[in-house]
Structure 1
Amino acid sequence: PVRPDAYIEMNNFYTTTVYEKGAEVIRMIYTLLGSANFRKGMDLYFQRHDGQAVTCDDFVSAMSDASEFDLNQFKLWYSQAGTPELRIQSEYESERRCLKLFIEQSCPPTPEQKSKLPFLIPLKLGLIQPNGKALDLQLVGENQAGGPERVLSIKQSQECFEFINVPEKTIPSLLRGFSAPVKLDYSYTDDELGFLIAHDSDPFARWEANQRLAINVIKRLVQDVQAEKRLQIDEVLITAYRRLLERQKIDKALLAQLLELPNEAYLAECIQPIEVNILHQVREFLRTELASILENEFLANYQKLAQAGKPYRLNREDIATRLLKNTCLSYLLKLGDRYRDLAMTQYTSANNMTDQLFALQVLVNNDLEQTTPQLDHFYQQWQHDSLVLDKWFEIQATAPDKEILHRVQTLVKHDAFNLKNPNKVYALMGAFCARNPIGFHREDGAGYEFLGDYILELNTINPYVAARLVRTLSHWRKFALPYQALMKTQLERIAKHEGLCKNVSEIVNQSL
């Protein structure tokens, strides 16, 4: 949970759950209260507690008192572990011109909490009409329609909300603005997801629809691989991507995000048991097929965005332009050597670190050995800047190559690497283990053994770093059996080590 009841080693308290989920909890209060009441709550909070050491309860109490909104149930977000799940079904009655949403919330048991009470969950939503516009919403019992967006407070295990004056069947746009950190289960068809990608005005809902569509396609392709069938890309995904690339009036930063397929780490959370090689094969197949079919569109966008000689500017528009340009370049490089010169030109002519680093990364990702001269050049150029060299290590450690472990083992001995420097460890070992599934999850277990060796070495050098690295092995139960057994073996080996620090011991024992 965000606020654990107990811990063995204080350093293990500072996790992404505490920081990122903690931030989401505060944002949910903002969503529930609205801007004006949240401002009142902040003013009261500082008035009461400025200069004091305060608790989560103090913050929530100030918000509740200032807004006169009961947040007692909401405080379960601080004490209950796990990610809530919302299962939503819709039912449209054309004769009554109404849409019913049946909502069921649950939270799976966790080791310390077998049963959970219902959370207070803010669900922001809209209803998208066939013309692509959002309907003004009116719940049963209300005298008139409000705006096109509504925040529903989900408080019970099961609830039903009925919208009236709905002239025709609509598509729900759910969890707008990522209104709550929950898992959403709604049975969208692929065509409905394609419609939301094209028409939804909410950036997060649009992105989520794109991710869901891609995951649906990937799940079917995984089944085809397992059944030894020929792989084919779904036309609905091609259509969605083509429409995105052809649209002129769309935020460039959002478009870049929409064009990215779910990464392998996220796919592993959605498709279990985790078959590392199959997930990598399917995702690379999709990227290559999209690049081949939409080659002209990707190239046209890249050429339009790559303005040679344009001075570097650090503003939102130019940052978004670089992001989208580089996304297009990454797809073009999937087509082989014919676009390698494009990346080489960008690397040599770049007047900013973003473009130079990205060009180097896509060159490495597509042919590591052929990019050795560029890696050597980059090192010579930036060898006196330690933070930039972290990127140099990271780019090589994340190259999607089954044999990349040998390169990582060599880099550990590099003069610029220092095991006592946490940033260097995270840039090389951390990046390899957490962000290179095809290289780390080897069928011979060599990647796990490599990690185990350095966890034990770091155990005495820097227990906090060792504890962060060992978390990579903590999800071993989610993997397919060959990987699962090999990961468990390393955890057991670490657990038996004499003199194991409390930081690592706590995580390993919880994992086992």
Structure 2
Amino acid sequence: MRTESGQIFKLGDYRPTDFVVERIDLTFELDPAATKVVSRMILHRREGVAADAALVLDGDELTLDGLQLDGNDIDPAGYAVTPDSLTIRALPESGPFEITVSTTISPETNTTLMGLYRSSGVYCTQCEAEGFRRITYFYDRPDVLAVYTVTVIARKDDAKLLLSNGNFLGGGDYDEGRHFAAWFDPHPKPSYLFALVGGDLGMIEDSFTTMSGRDVALKIYVEHGKEARAAYAMDALKRSMKWDEEVYGREYDLDIFQIVAVSDFNMGAMENKGLNVFNDKYVLADPETATDADYANIEAIIAHEYFHNWTGNRITCRDWFQLCLKEGLTVYRDHTFSADQRSAPVKRIAEIRLLKAHQFPEDAGPLAHPVRPQKYREINNFYTATVYEKGSEVVRMIRTILGAEDFRKGMDLYFERHDGDASTIEDFLACFTDASGRDLTQFALWYSQAGTPLVTVSTDWNEAGKTFSVTLEQSLAPTPGQSRKALMHIPLAYGLILPDGREFEGQPHGGEAGNGVFHLTKRKQTFRFAGVPERPVLSINRGFSAPVNIAMEQSIADLAHIARHDSDGVARWQAINDHATRSLISAARLSRDDRKLPSVAELAEILIATAADESLEPAFRAQTLTLPSESDIAREIGGNIDPDAIHAAREAVMKEVAHAGLETFAALADSAPTGPYSPDAEDAGKRALAATAMAYASIAEGWPDRLKKAFDAADNMTMMAQALQLLVYQFASAEETREALESFRARFADNPLALDKWHTIQAMAPGAKSYDRVEHLLAGPDFDRTNPNRMRALVGAFSAGNPTGFNRADGAGYRLLAREVIAIDKRNPQLAARLLTALRSWQSLESGRQEHARLALVSIREAGALSADVSDIVDRMLPG
């Protein structure tokens, strides 16, 4: 584990390596305590590099066993070695040469889950971002692309299955009691895409015929007995492969594609070339143990990792500053895939909720950074919502600006021009400029400026002249390291909705606009529409075309008009959500002062009407009925946050809506589809609506009977988990709740993923008492601190998803997180650092909670011997 380091890496310091790695042959002799690794590299000196330049390779806690040049031992005077680097001097001035490096590593003691580790009897690797250096000394950076041949040797009783990247070359007996398997990947790749798996696993297999007629073998490996639960993942994989051919013309390029699901994994999944490694929660599913959300996540993440084959693997990043080039782009691709597979408006609403819940707070706090950072101290800490989700939004804006046809031309040019390259953002944008002729220089600021732009919108209706004007003004607040910001190019999709619900189709004057999009490129611009017959209502930022905050005074009547008539489903939802947000913020401010809450009759009327409108998709109705979360309300308030007041206000609003619409909600609560379970979008939407209605109905009825009956009758995890969650949230002390919790735990005692849900439901139950519940669960027999999924399910869910419990006025929640982060950091720094980001918005709290949070951060800083991962997060969150 790399301990605290002050080294800062800067984008401007990039330079290529002095030596080029042409190929690498790796031999592993697997052993839990002492795995031998032999790396044979063919290299040559880069043209123009000085003859006395040394070869400097990366390492991390390595011990060198042997070192050779062209088959001969190198004199110790010719090299310098530390656990973190290997420097070799006196190398040939021309022509290729061979360096052989031998190391021994201990997979079973590697608790960081980076590099090669062994857990639950399975050898597994995770090399992104800098894990390969924990295996052998190498140029562990993304711009070093080489062809890999891998031979894996193991005892048959230790690892029956031996996998690596690429195509299978062959295998068999190696010597008495041992066997081997050899793999060759013909596509040059960086070290972060290397993968190895060894163990005893079950398998399901299928095949896919590509658009050129090649047959590809598809294999998914899981723990024995869980094979049937991988069927949906296989189906999602085949649909992803077909979609990428149809939408982007991308064909798979190896003879085999393999997925391995493991239970101990820091990531969601990893796109290693031809051998994806997944956290098993994103592979395993059946109706009894997986919710509709689990199925949707499996579909999306399977697609995401497969799509990386081209956007990440065939074309990779020149350096880690370009991380969004593969992640943001691939998130955009998996989002559009899911939109095509399911309901596009509902999927988009879910994306907006996620972006606002995670990325907007990141942009507004001490961890703010550009989509492409200019510097970093620990790259593991930049696998963030900004890189992934905002990075996706930036790609979406390119498509909005260029249109579908030119966007596809740009993508085709990108694949053609940079296949086999380690590329940059500039390379990516140049393809769209060259394909469309459009200058994207100003737009490129989205990659280099942190923060969420604010667009202030005002309108003016001239009855006499029949003109309607829209004035837009942009501003961007200072963020850490960026006090001055340049003007952005912000594409804002819009519509003008006339009183009869029709849309005005005229084009504006006074600024660039077209295809229903305002292009805001100056500080302030006014767009004027002539010949407008009656006063219209402006629908702005349709489809959330730009990831910005909108400041606009709109009456409740105008919001209701958008909600009823807008042709854009996302805009209809946004109008209702904006109305709800206003009501909730007013209620929270009054609740804090112990004043009577205002009536929300208008909001209740809109929500009830939406719930009953059978012309709308059930999934859309469910999204609309889901009020802004407590975190959403806090984000909109901005500062001096009192989580208890927000919670009380939201509960009061929900109660008033519930009582007003009890008849409607009670009927919808029983409307979940019957018969065999299907995870398809239609049935999932119906269950979502029934579950949301159940929440309102149970609030209005005031007793847990309906929820306990729903729990007992549920024949799928979606409805069972929802009923249990509502019991715990609404009737925590009821006997029915205790019985349901015990029943769930007993039923799924041998199912770790289901028990994760059991922990999360309890961790997120609101109220100050949830702290005591979490402490009890931490000490319970079902809790395993070494498993990242279980830590995220309990500590992560409590700290990031329970505003009242975590933000207790006495600071106990912050102290709990600090204690756990300090302990976890000694074993798994990446996990510890990610859990710690739950405190990213601590400075927006009211003063008492702020001080408790600050002291918790100070206690972590003063703990000593912190990893670079955790130290980096603490230092960025603590001022001074």
Q: TM-score, normalised by structure 1?
A: 0.96
Query: Is residue 218 of structure 1 aligned with residue 587 of structure 2?
Result: no
Distance 1:346 1:226, change over 3 A: closer
**Equivalent position to 2:435, from 46, 66, 86:** 66
Tell me the distance in 1 between the aligned counterparts of 2:697 and 2:462: 47
What letter corresponds to residue 79 of structure 1 in structure 2? Answer: S
Structure 1's 472 and 508: CA in aligned 2 closer, same or farther, altered over 3 A? same
1:138 paired residue among 480, 488, 507: 507
- The one-letter code matched in structure 2 to 1:343 is L
User: How far does residue 163 in structure 1 lie from its aligned partner after superposition?
Assistant: 1.2
Does structure 2 conserve the Cα–Cα contact (< 8 Å) formed by 1:129 and 1:169? yes
AA partner of residue 83 (structure 1): T
SS of aligned partner of 1:482: helix
- Counterparts of 1:332 and 1:229 in 2: how far apart (Å)? 26
CA contact (8 A) 1:273 1:479 kept: yes
Corresponding residue number in structure 2 for 1:511: 877
> In the alignment, what sits opposite 2:866?
500
- Which residue, 291, 298, 301 being the options, matches 2:665? 298
Query: Secondary structure of 1:74's partner?
Result: coil
Task: Indicate conservation of the 8 Å contact 2:490/2:520, yes or no.
Answer: yes
Query: 1:292: Cα distance to partner?
Result: 0.8
Q: Cα offset for 1:378?
A: 1.1
Instruction: Write the distance in 2 (CA, Å) between the matches of 1:210 and 1:98.
Output: 27
Distance 1:331 1:178 in 2: 28
Query: Within 2, Cα distance between the matches of 1:424 and 1:57?
Result: 40
Mapping of residues 70-85 of structure 1, within 5 Å: 70-85=439-454
Greater helix content: 1
Q: Secondary structure at the match of 1:100?
A: strand
- CA contact 2:600–2:657 (8 Å) conserved in 1: no
Q: Aligned partners of 1:178 and 1:318: how far apart in 2? A: 26
For 1:334, the equivalent position in structure 2 comes to 699
The 10-residue stretch of structure 1 (112-121 or 344-353) with the greater mean CA deviation from structure 2: 344-353
For 1:319, the aligned partner's letter is: A
Q: CA deviation at 1:428?
A: 0.1
Structure 1 contact 194–236 (Cα < 8 Å) conserved: no
Superposed CA deviations along residues 371-400 of structure 1, whole A, max 9, x for unmatched, are 122111111211222112111110010011
Indicate the residue corresponding to 1:348 in structure 2: 712
Give the counterpart of 1:125 among 486, 494, 499.
Answer: 494
| Match 2:531 to one of 147, 153, 165 | 165
2:379 maps to 1:13: no
Code of the residue aligned with 1:335 in structure 2: it is: A
In the alignment, is the contact (CA less than 8 A) between 1:85 and 1:106 conserved in 2? Answer: yes
Q: What is the alpha-carbon distance in structure 2 between the residues aligned to residue 198 and residue 10 of structure 1?
A: 46
Residue number among 481, 484, 501 corresponding to 2:847 in the alignment? 481
Structure 1 vs Structure 2: percent identity of aligned residues? 38
Higher mean alpha-carbon deviation, 477-486 vs 133-142, is at 133-142
Q: Is the Cα contact below 8 Å between 2:745 and 2:755 reproduced in 1?
A: yes
Alpha-carbon distance between aligned partners in 2 of 1:318 and 1:380, rounded to the nearest angstrom: 28
Matched, 1:194 2:563: no
- Aligned-partner residue type, residue 273 of structure 1: N
- Deviation string, structure 1 residues 259-293 (Cα, Å, up to 9, x no partner): 11100111111113211110000000001111111
Distance 1:300 1:119 in 2: 49
> Cα–Cα, structure 1 residues 84 and 342, in superposed 2: closer, same or farther, change >3 Å?
same
Match status 1:465 vs 2:822: no
Q: Counterpart of 2:461?
A: 92
Question: Equivalences for 1:314-333 in 2 at 5 Å?
Answer: 314-333=679-698
Secondary structure, counterpart of 1:114 in structure 2: coil
Partner of 2:425: 56
Structure ID, larger Rg? 2
Partner of 1:239: 605
Q: Secondary structure at the match of 2:479?
A: coil
Establish whether residue 277 from structure 1 lines up as the match of residue 641 from structure 2: no
CA distance in 2, matches of 1:336, 1:485: 40
2:625 alignment partner in structure 1: 259
In the aligned structure 2, how far is the partner of 1:223 from the partner of 1:425? 34
RMSD between aligned alpha carbons? Answer: 1.6
**Equivalent-residue separation in structure 2 for 1:22 and 1:134 (angstroms):** 32
Q: CA deviation at 1:332?
A: 1.2
Distance 1:389 1:226, change over 3 A: closer
Between stretches 12-21 and 472-481, larger displacement belongs to 472-481
Q: 1:215 to 1:26 in 2, by over 3 A?
A: same
Single out whichever of 272-281 and 363-372 deviates more from structure 2: 363-372
Residue 474 of structure 1 contacts residue 507 of structure 1 at CA under 8 Å; is this kept in 2?
A: no
**Which 10-residue stretch deviates more, 155-164 or 344-353?**
344-353
Offset at residue 401 of structure 1 (A): 2.5
Instruction: Kindly provide the amino acid, as one letter, of the partner of residue 799 in structure 2.
Output: C
Shift of 1:141: 8.2
What stretches of structure 1 of length at least 5 have no aligned partner? none
Instruction: Structure 2 unaligned segments of length 5 or more: list them.
Output: 1-369
What's 2:286 paired with? none
Moved more, 320-329 or 209-218: 209-218
The 8 Å contact of residues 404 and 439 in structure 1, kept in 2 or not, is answered as yes
Q: What is the distance in 1 between the residues matched to 2:657 and 2:714?
A: 27
Q: How far 1:240 moved relative to its partner?
A: 1.1
Check the 8 A contact 2:588/2:650 in 1, yes or no: no
Q: Greater shift after overlay, 413-422 or 154-163?
A: 413-422
Distance 1:82 1:62 in 2: 26
Checking the alignment, whether the CA contact within 8 Å between 2:397 and 2:545 is kept in structure 1 is: yes
Could you list the per-position Cα deviations for residues 233-266 of structure 1 after superposition, in whole angstroms to 9, with x for gaps in the alignment? 2222122112212322011111111111100111
Deviations 1:191-224 (A, max 9, x none): 2212222222212211211121112112222332
* Residues 144-180 of structure 1: per-residue CA shift (max 9 Å, x gap): x98xx60111111111111111111111001001101
Name the residue aligned to 2:551: 185
Q: How many Å apart are 1:475 and its aligned residue? A: 1.7
Amino acid at match of 1:283: R
Match of 1:410 in 2: 776
Letter of the aligned partner of 1:325 in structure 2? A
Q: Which has the higher strand share?
A: 2
Q: Which residue of 2 aligns with 1:366?
A: 730
Separation in 2 of the partners of 1:466 and 1:314?
A: 34
Whole-angstrom CA distance in 2 between matches of 1:31 and 1:388: 41
Deviates more, 1:182-191 or 1:49-58: 49-58
**Worse-matched range after superposition: 49-58 or 107-116:** 49-58
The alignment partner of 1:509 has SS state of: helix
Residues 1:423 and 2:789 are matched in the alignment: yes
Aligned to 2:470: 101
- Report the 3-state secondary structure (helix = DSSP H, G, I; strand = E; otherwise coil) of the residue aligned with 2:456: strand
Contact 1:123 1:174 in 2 (8 A): yes
Alignment of 1:152 with 2:509, yes or no, is no
Contact 2:707 2:723 in 1 (8 A): yes
Aligned letter for 1:138?
Q
Q: Distance in 2 between matches of 1:273 and 1:191?
A: 31
CA distance in structure 2 between the partners assigned to 1:417 and 1:64 by the alignment: 53
State which drifts further: 199-208 or 27-36. Answer: 199-208
Offset of 1:336 from its aligned partner?
4.6
1:311 corresponding residue in structure 2: 676
* Partner in structure 2 of residue 386 of structure 1: 752
Name whichever of 20-29 and 494-503 sits farther off.
Answer: 494-503
Report the Cα offset of residue 342 of structure 1: 2.4
